[in-house]
Amino acid sequence: MEKTVRVRFAPSPTGALHIGGVRTALFNYLFAKKHKGQFLIRIEDTDQTRFVPGAEAYIIKALEWCGIVADESPLVGGPCAPYRQSERKPMYAQYAYRMVEEGTAYYAFDTEQELDEMREKLKAARVASPQYNAITRMQMKNSLTLPEEEVKARLASGDPYVIRIKMPRKEEVRLNDLVRGWVVVHTSTLDDKVLLKSDGMPTYHLANVVDDYLMKITHVIRGEEWLPSAPLHVLLYKYLGWEAQMPQFAHLPLLLRPDGNGKLSKRDGDRLGFPVFPMDWQDPFNPEDKASGYREAGYFPDAFINFLALLGWNPGTTQEIFTMEELTQAFSIERINKAGIKFDIDKAKWYNQHYLRQKPDNELAIYLTNELEKQQINCSLEKAAKIVSLMKERAIFLADIWSEAQYLFFAPSSYDEKAASKWSNEASIVLEDYAQQLIRATDSISSEQAKQILHDCTEKLQMKIGKAMPALRLALTGHAAGPDLMEIISLLGAKEATSRIKTALANFEKMLG
């Protein structure tokens, strides 16, 4: 019988969740749902020195904003609870001690000073990568070099120690990665990693493997930065007798800076002018350390997710717009790229613009009326919906609608300089006549009526309507470009439009002398 797919996203609560982490969570979620499996969130907080209050809540809330909801987690619970490694601490040590008994791990009593001295000696000998390994361990204080009685005495007296894996000296570790194919690493390049720290807390490596085994994880989908650790994890499965239950691995490509020069880091956001976190974050230890998020920048969660999904994965078709359900059906690990992918914020904006245009006008109108209330401006939902319909084609974010629509509520106090320089006496003649005809219309003028009146004026004066339009737009909005001008007149009303035209005529009469 085929095993139920179980995947996990296992962040550390050391700060805000980088968008690379969101993408990892998303790929895990899509894979689980595609195969009708379970998606778990496990908090890997074994390193208590880096713990940041509020980080765990931020991570889970950010994922929920994206629509990524766990089947099992510290909040939801589940059959494998608890889902915080700090709460699972008592169960890890037994596996480290078992490995010591079976000869695949050992006690190491070296002090920090002795470790530093070892590294300095290796550096002096021009060793490229000084590390505690199959060669150097034989010159250190551990249960492989000390007499058995001394080891027992040290343990009995409570001397501090760590437990290290006993890395084979000359073996090949093979891993068939679902993204990269066969990965082969020689153990001579690997060090004897610490599995259990002196405070009894496991390191990431031991806790990660033990938890994945106990939680019956079938696939480990994680970032490329964890690929160097994969051979160690493969050996741990082997030494603990769990090879048959070892999950399949898939290491995702890096998210690169827009210029392709290096990994997109948490510090790149403010420097490059776009968010690298899903939501705003403020470090509780350093309130001045703030970072902006996609949610507060005005991105829709479905646009953000759609954008992230195609960073390193492609559906094999030209389709670019996906609902979460469509992503779930289309997703496959086989179509994940090996190479790093450049981050393109303009593409993210393109997605947001698309999703904004798909939103019903009535829904967007609620946002606009809320903004208008802040300005103490009354506007019916019906009128707001008309404004939204007119403005949303030019908007990328919700805030752009209000930004673009302000001239519908405030007469222009200045005029586009380039457009103003092209104002002519002919334009003044048309606008004077248009204002006289416009004021005779009912205030609730339609766009069709406004256009017909302008057409009648230009025909009477034997001028082309196209020559009058730039000056009319400038008079009404102060801008050289914008949405349909007749719709703008309809929204302003005949009275307000006439007033603005007269004001512009007075201003430009002075300019023309």
Let me know: does 233 contact 272? Beta carbons within 8 Å.
no
Catalytic residue among 89, 263, 266, 451: 266
DSSP string covering 216-246: T--EEEEEGGGGGGHHHHHHHHHHTT-GGGP
Cβ contact 458:430 at 8 Å: yes
- Helices (H), ranges, 105-167: 112-124, 148-157
Q: How far apart are CA 364 and CA 490, in angstroms?
A: 20
Give the pair of three-digit tokens for residue 247.
């999950």
266 is catalytic: yes
Q: What is the bridge-based pairing of β-strands 219-223 and 194-196?
A: unpaired
| Residue 437 burial (10 A CB sphere; 0-12, 13-18, 19+) | middle
> DSSP label at 96?
H
- Residues written for the chain: 513
Lookup: tokens for 192 = 């004897």
Cα first-last separation, the chain = 90
244 token code pair: 């048959």
State the DSSP string of 341-385: EE--HHHHHHHHHHHHHHS-HHHHHHHHHHHHHHTT----HHHHH
Single out the residue of 229, 101, 102, 96 nearest to residue 162, CA to CA: 96
Cα distances (Å, whole numbers) of residue 207 to 195, 196, 336, 344, 474: 8, 9, 27, 36, 67
Q: In 3D, which of 505, 420, 501, 427 has the Cα closest to residue 465?
A: 427
CB 203 within 8 Å of CB 209: no
Q: What are the φ/ψ torsions at residue 64 (nearest 5 degrees)?
A: -65, -40
C-alpha to C-alpha distance for 237 and 248, rounded to whole angstroms: 12
CB 294 within 8 A of CB 277: yes
What are the catalytic residues?
A: 266
